[in-house]
Amino acid sequence: MPYPTDRERDRPWVIRTYAGHSSAEKSNALYRRNLEKGQTGLSVAFDLPTQTGYDPDDELAKGEVGKVGVPVSHIGDMRTLFDGIPIAEANTSMTINAPAMWLLALYVAVAEEQGADRATLAGTTQNDIIKEYLSRGTYVFPPAPSLRLITDMVAWSVTEIPKWNPINICSYHLQEAGATPAQELAYALSTAIAVLDSVRDSGQVPPERFGDVVGRISFFVNAGLRFVEEMCKLRALARMWDRITLERYGVENPKQRRMRYGVQVNSLGLTEAQPENNVQRIVLEMLAVTLSKDARARAIQLPAWNEALGLPRPWDQQWALRMQQVLAYETDLLEYEDIFEGSVVIEAKVTELVEAAQAEIDRVQEMGGAVAAVENGYMKGELVTALAERRRRIESGDDVVVGVNRFQTTEPSPLQGDAAAIETVDPATEAAAVAAIREWRAARDQSAVDEALRRLQDAAKTDENLMQVSVDCAKAGVTTGEWAGALRAVFGEFRAPTGVSAAVAGGEAAVEIAEVRERVRATGEELGTRLRMLVGKPGLDGHSNGAEQVAVRARDVGFEVVYQGIRLTPAQIVAAAVQEGVHVVGLSILSGSHLEVVPAVVDGLRAQGADDVPVIVGGIIPAEDAKALKEKGVAAVFTPKDYQLTEMMDEIVTLVREVHGLG
């Protein structure tokens, strides 16, 4: 972390951009360019197969390789990713959860190849699996063994890599899933309590060293546009964390109790309409996490202005980097003590948030803690309901979104207009990755791989710490899919509650929903059966918020909804559509794999004789891709600018009627 030469100024935060795509080689080049531009920390984005424990040649990885991050399948990829970047001097954040132990093992193994002392490694693994069941969806194993992996990582890291943050408790994704500020605080802190209780109860860390565990717990937070409230939220989080770690865990050292957090400001609030407005949104959100010295972020990464359109280009990421640098180096922000100290208004808001969050923490603890509240669906249902309420406020105009539901008149943007406005991943990337991993498997010592995997599985069946055996697997040449597959065989897999059935949703004016509900009812009568919609999430994209809201609104207007959650193959979606006799299939995709997986569903339905089932698609889909999808048989494409869900339902009913010749 850089220190200023002027001792009167606070030191700047670690300046990052969240980056990675296509391949380890291309991502390495991107990282080196960003470091040359003044970035002071790395933030690695992994692709979805890596995040969910699959190799590039797995069926579920089709269309997803290298799209939303870099594929890292074995130690060779990790070597390439950090080629020319001294790991001993780096501060690396890795957004990885279910296979966090594995990616950390690969990182440690490569660091040792570079000659780095383990004790010098600095950085963070996200490693918060609770929020994966609630929002991002990149979970693999059931909650209990997942918590065991986190516990082992935390205990091992305190001894072996003491400068590393083994977990980022992530309130960020909770906000994107709909959490109110109080829910965001409560569920994040409930997760932290679950992790700390598990580490304490495992007996792997002596009581006298438990303060070291607490001192390495960090948070990853979100900051929305209500930036005064967001700043108060972070002051509340710091206050509550200090109290919990003192009273529940008896940590006396105030330095160890200090809440440390990194941040990416709100991507959910970025708009496809008039995306140039996203620049000022990002800047205002950045102020929420920097203005208050007593609750200032120690690492920041900002989204790019065009992330609602697709993958940002290097120039777009540079712009986001420069926003941070202007604030840190050109303004006087870092010259003052906390400018909100003594504010009656700020103190009242902080107190309100603390009280509301504590009440929700108490509810979760009464259920048995965060893991129990995941398994019984409570937290997920609360988030889906809260997001439905947020959508209602936007749809009704109660909450203004500039350029979306007000001030929609606009001039043509010189920043957009052609395919070059976003980064695209070469379609050959996936084929190259598939070929490369097969070459890797053919060239390694298979007996060493088999022995390493046998040791991993044997250890997983006991209470042995799994971190070192994972490092041994990394050095033997085991792949990401093999490591995860070995543990799947022991731990099993898990499908989290969707929260849809538990959600209580509002909508626009009741009369508008009633009108569409009547059309749904009448169309069902004419067809002789209730209208049924399948909402599907093909591929590995686990961002299910949009799909859940569509499912809730479809249910509200009278559709019978079939929604089986995330991570389905096109074949599974087709089979469910045929078996359930649905009248329409709606697919939600945010990862960029739409050109591969959507046509597979369309073709599969045709092959099953279900030509009369229209397929609609929603997600971040560029205009030229939408045109290509329609040419391949997709009936309609919806993007984030189509925020009126009831109008969308009305269009879907019209499609069903047209297909069945009802006029």
- Active-site residues: which are they? 18, 172-173, 537, 541, 543
Contacts of 325 (CB under 8 A, 6+ apart): 15, 38
pLDDT of residue 328: 92
Strand partners, 538: 568
Residue type, 504: V
pLDDT of residue 507: 46
Across the chain, what does the average pLDDT equal? 88
Q: Is the pLDDT of residue 354 over 90?
A: yes
Roughly how many angstroms between the first and final C-alpha of the chain, as a whole number? 65
pLDDT of residue 215: 94
- CA atoms of 199 and 202, how far apart (whole Å): 5
- pLDDT-wise least confident of 237-241, 415-419, 530-534, 633-637: 415-419
pLDDT of residue 499: 56
Strand partners, 637: 617
- The SS3 call for residue 468 is helix
> What is the CB neighbour count within 10 angstroms for residue 652?
27
Give the pLDDT band of residue 198 (cuts 50, 70, 90).
very high
- Could you tell me the two tokens for 575? 């089979």
> What is the CB neighbour count within 10 angstroms for residue 525?
11
Q: Is the pLDDT of residue 5 over 60?
A: no
Contact 238, 294 (CB under 8 A): yes
- Could you tell me the two tokens for 303? 């989204």
- pLDDT-wise least confident of 138-152, 423-437, 567-581: 423-437
pLDDT of residue 454: 97
Strand ranges in 551-635 using DSSP code E only, listed in sequence order: 560-563, 584-589, 615-619
Hey, what long-range contacts does 603-609 have (CB within 8 A, 24 or more apart)?
A: 604/570, 604/571, 604/573, 604/574, 605/574, 605/577, 605/578, 606/633, 607/574, 608/574, 608/578
Share in percent of the chain as helix, strand, coil (round to 5): 55, 10, 35
Strand partners, 561: 533
pLDDT of residue 418: 57
113-160 pLDDT, tens per residue? 999 999 999 999 999 999 998 888 888 999 999 999 999 999 999 999
Query: Quick one: what percent of the chain has pLDDT higher than 90?
Result: 56
502-549 pLDDT, tens per residue? 555 454 455 688 888 899 999 999 999 999 999 988 878 777 777 888
- Could you tell me the two tokens for 52? 């969910």
pLDDT of residue 112: 95
Query: What's the mean pLDDT in 288-308?
Result: 88
- Could you tell me the two tokens for 170? 């992530």
Query: Quick one: what percent of the chain has pLDDT higher than 70?
Result: 95
- The HSE-up count of residue 132 (CA atoms within 13 Å, CB side) is 28
pLDDT of residue 169: 93
User: Helices 227-247 and 181-202 sit at what angle, rounded to 10 degrees?
Assistant: 30
34-55 pLDDT, tens per residue? 888 888 888 899 999 999 999 9
Question: Is the Cα torsion angle 502, 400, 302, 309 positive or negative in sign?
Answer: positive
152-180 pLDDT, tens per residue? 999 999 999 999 999 999 988 888 888 99
Residue among 355, 248, 230, 336 at smallest CA distance from 286: 230
Give the pLDDT band of residue 493 (cuts 50, 70, 90).
confident
Query: What's the mean pLDDT in 629-657?
Result: 89
Contacts of 628 (CB under 8 A, 6+ apart): 595
pLDDT of residue 7: 52
pLDDT of residue 422: 66
- Could you tell me the two tokens for 214? 């607490």
pLDDT of residue 2: 37
- For the chain, domains (ranges, CATH) are 14-396 (3.20.20.240), 428-491 (no CATH), 511-660 (3.40.50.280)
Residue among 362, 416, 394, 359 at smallest CA distance from 624: 416
DSSP code for 340? T
Burial, 417: exposed, middle or buried (Cβ in 10 Å; 0-12, 13-18, 19+)? exposed
Burial, 247: exposed, middle or buried (Cβ in 10 Å; 0-12, 13-18, 19+)? exposed
pLDDT of residue 511: 64
60-105 pLDDT, tens per residue? 888 889 888 999 999 999 999 999 999 998 889 999 999 999 999 9
584-620 pLDDT, tens per residue? 999 988 777 788 888 889 999 999 998 899 999 988 8
Give the global pTM.
0.81
Residue type, 488: R
